[in-house]
Structure 1
């Protein structure tokens, strides 16, 4: 506790650091939970994307087989000689098994419809300007998935065309076989997947053309969105996950995407970041304030404890100081003098140094008190104490009030001559105060001083030295007062009490 009181700022700082560490640990744990929440959402989204991708891969694989069969039938020379209804069944009989397939056509090299699944003729219909026709005409690209188009055969229904090139045996272009797939196919696929209200799902082509979206946006479906910052990462790699902000609504979403094998499609599931972190934010608002309050309590308690212990230590020191201090003069008291005499005696004995003591007494003080009053007497005591302190200026010197009008000065490492010099300085300093004392033979307040000096040899003798100085004081008073009497002893001074007469034995 004493160490705490001496070093309050260290203890307070340590408590503050502990409180901050608790807050940091909780916040780090919450940040770890945030990362785990995002990773969990990414894993769930990856599973949904895989589900969509598998469905698309399977169905588009079937559609491609239908196109391959139709191309092979068209290239077979025997097909031309078949009756129209038989030829149509041969080419497109399996198309009816494909859900969400609207039409199936064979367009010749000029873009005119030659065969259709429903057997109707479309004399005014030409598809040579369609992107799929131009792509297949230039070179064989396998199954080509077109941009969303308005069907010219179905009163503008929104759909995409799946096409394959028909080539002659010499490799020349002989038209295309195509199937039209309603965009509702993608929308029903989205119905199998759930995301939060602010999340989104979409399917686009590898060039950034949007095919379908949930929630549906007529503005975006069919649009080229590849230039958007949140779309570009999906066009550069086969799969992945990242957090991006939609420039249209400003919502941050966790985009998880995958390219559908053997197609030019990209499936994307993008739940909102807010939705993924909703539960985490709930915990954050509970635990973060609790951790901060707890950390602040620890820090505040540490400072309160440290400052309280410092206050107690200062109070204890003040009590200790008062216990060895004279309340009137501010000098050390008799108790402190006795302790200091013992310690200085032992130190001087160990080091072989001289130790001197001055005993100071105010001349005719009782008469001063009786004539001027005790309040004035107290002022004289305080003034004399200051004068003694001013004359003994060394840090090692000790000035104490012995009792009444008597004072003692302990002078470590001071020989006989040095002690006399200091004693004379004290006497002159008091006389220079010029305090009027009508009942003194000098007309002013003066002091008589006794000095005793010795080099301690034995462990006992500190009090004997003090009494020897007291004896010299009485000699100074008997010599007329306002004088200094001094004596030097070899070893321990004799105890004046030893010379007192003893009572005869009965």
Structure 2
């Protein structure tokens, strides 16, 4: 009976170690997925901004150097962006953030031909390539189509992203001595792998037995599997996750040796301590309790990380969506009411351009703390919606109450008196849109959000640094 009990407990701890490894790896892929997705969205918006500036009528009236300064400013929009450029319909560089690049032509590159041949393609992410402008530099190119007024092809806007972005992201995650982290495309091209070899990046592994084995699983958003790597022969437990809106997938692999290292230690300890039955039972129970407690603590930390925005400490977008869905259901069932405030920091991009992203992050933290400090009740919720946008949820609050809270927040942000030389006010301010749930007006929670967003745009159109309310009787507060 003692041997059976020990065998059962060892089996359970082995199963728990595996389950915990899967769970931890999935959470690591989730963190990487969100970081990559968020940065790709930011880079896509940067390309949209570049398109807008290039097609602005005033752009043609500028000199060559003025055009370059107008399009790109003094800095690129992200740390790992090496170059941004505009190509004409033949692939010739019209204007580039890199001096001297205007002599080159890129009409044969896939990031150009795909945009030319597929009008509805949207954002295109190339395979890894060796940059022409720097020896030994590997990049991926993000491009978007330029169209003439009649819809015909006018060229592309593009940027080159240094693959060191993925290396820096992955290298900060601890996966054990034999752990690996990779970024592949769904057709089997390697974008990044840590630890990496010189010829790993850009390699096509689509025909390898290991890739063929896991290919049927890639239709799912995420999953896990066990396979022996063809590069080093190590058997690993892998977790993967698709990156929405792209053809990329992030993989995390942990060797079974690392996963079950502590379990093997327990096995040797139990085998030795079985000679002293009473001591072995006490020690084994203590080990199980400790492992269980550590696992619970780790899971709780991971749950917190998934729900809290890492920069501001407010609820993140995912937690906000869950909370709004629950609130909507309660209000529909119980005839409840609520109001939303959509808050946007005025001219925040100009602030980042002028003072740098680090100070920009400090402003976001200060604004978030100020918003949270102005909420009158514990049931009121503040969340970061994305970038410099925030959402405040006020349960059981009518339109007048929402305007009052919105004005308190606006005034408190203004009273921070943070210098902003490129704002018309001379300091950091915020515009706020308010919307109050009314059963006859809004069919779902997205309609309420859209109403608050429309009110926010009205506040900006009215001169910024003000609060506007959605609805037929919209009113503003200064």
Q: TM bucket by the smaller chain? A: 0.5 to 0.7
Q: 2:142: which partner in 1? A: 162
Are residues 1:88 and 2:68 paired? yes
- Structure 1 residue 175: deviation in Å? 1.4
Q: For residues 439-463 of structure 1, what are the alpha-carbon distances to aligned partners after superposition, in whole Å with 9 as ceiling and x for unaligned?
A: xxxxxxxxxxxxxxxxxxxxxxxxx
Q: 1:253: which partner in 2? A: 236
- Structure 1 residue 190: deviation in Å? 1.6
Contact 2:46/2:77, CA 8 A, preserved across alignment: no
Q: Which of 241, 266, 289 pairs up with 2:224?
A: 241
- Structure 1 residue 22: deviation in Å? 4.6
- Structure 1 residue 257: deviation in Å? 1.6
- Structure 1 residue 72: deviation in Å? 2.4
Contact 2:184/2:192, CA 8 A, preserved across alignment: yes
- Structure 1 residue 230: deviation in Å? 3.8
Q: Which of 132, 137, 156 pairs up with 2:116?
A: 137
Are residues 1:50 and 2:30 paired? yes
- Structure 1 residue 128: deviation in Å? 1.9
Q: Which of 241, 247, 252 pairs up with 1:264?
A: 247
- What residue ranges of structure 2 are gaps of 5+ in the alignment? 278-478
- Structure 1 residue 293: deviation in Å? 12
Supply the distance in 1 between the matched residues of 2:85 and 2:238 (Cα, whole angstroms).
Answer: 37
- Structure 1 residue 236: deviation in Å? 2.5
- Structure 1 residue 81: deviation in Å? 3.0
Supply the distance in 2 between the matched residues of 1:283 and 1:251 (Cα, whole angstroms).
Answer: 23
Supply the distance in 1 between the matched residues of 2:70 and 2:123 (Cα, whole angstroms).
Answer: 20
Q: 2:48: which partner in 1? A: 68
Aligned residue-pair number: 273
TM-score, normalised via structure 2 length: 0.53
Q: For residues 315-370 of structure 1, what are the alpha-carbon distances to aligned partners after superposition, in whole Å with 9 as ceiling and x for unaligned?
A: xxxxxxxxxxxxxxxxxxxxxxxxxxxxxxxxxxxxxxxxxxxxxxxxxxxxxxxx
Supply the distance in 2 between the matched residues of 1:87 and 1:235 (Cα, whole angstroms).
Answer: 44
Contact 1:137/1:175, CA 8 A, preserved across alignment: yes
Residues 156 and 133 of structure 1, relative CA distance in 2, 3 Å threshold: farther
Are residues 1:189 and 2:169 paired? yes
TM-score, normalised via structure 1 length: 0.50
Residues 142 and 96 of structure 1, relative CA distance in 2, 3 Å threshold: same
Q: 1:35: which partner in 2? A: 15
Q: 1:282: which partner in 2? A: 265
Contact 1:254/1:272, CA 8 A, preserved across alignment: yes
Secondary structure in 2 matching 1:248: coil
Contact 1:207/1:235, CA 8 A, preserved across alignment: no
Supply the distance in 2 between the matched residues of 1:60 and 1:265 (Cα, whole angstroms).
Answer: 11
Supply the distance in 1 between the matched residues of 2:15 and 2:151 (Cα, whole angstroms).
Answer: 56
Residues 156 and 191 of structure 1, relative CA distance in 2, 3 Å threshold: closer
Q: 2:186: which partner in 1? A: 206
Supply the distance in 1 between the matched residues of 2:238 and 2:49 (Cα, whole angstroms).
Answer: 37
Secondary structure in 2 matching 1:258: strand
Secondary structure in 2 matching 1:142: coil
Supply the distance in 2 between the matched residues of 1:248 and 1:293 (Cα, whole angstroms).
Answer: 45
- Structure 1 residue 42: deviation in Å? 1.6
- Structure 1 residue 26: deviation in Å? 2.7
Secondary structure in 2 matching 1:96: coil
Identify which of structures 1 and 2 has the higher relative contact order when contacts are C-alpha pairs closer than 8 Å and 6+ apart: 1
Supply the distance in 2 between the matched residues of 1:156 and 1:109 (Cα, whole angstroms).
Answer: 29
Contact 1:66/1:94, CA 8 A, preserved across alignment: no
Contact 2:188/2:204, CA 8 A, preserved across alignment: yes
Contact 2:235/2:255, CA 8 A, preserved across alignment: yes
- Structure 1 residue 78: deviation in Å? 4.0
Secondary structure in 1 matching 2:41: helix
- What residue ranges of structure 1 are gaps of 5+ in the alignment? 1-20, 295-506
Contact 2:95/2:102, CA 8 A, preserved across alignment: no
Secondary structure in 2 matching 1:201: strand
Supply the distance in 1 between the matched residues of 2:181 and 2:276 (Cα, whole angstroms).
Answer: 42
Residues 225 and 236 of structure 1, relative CA distance in 2, 3 Å threshold: farther
Q: 1:7: which partner in 2? A: none
Secondary structure in 2 matching 1:222: coil
User: What's the RMSD between the two structures over aligned residues?
Assistant: 2.4
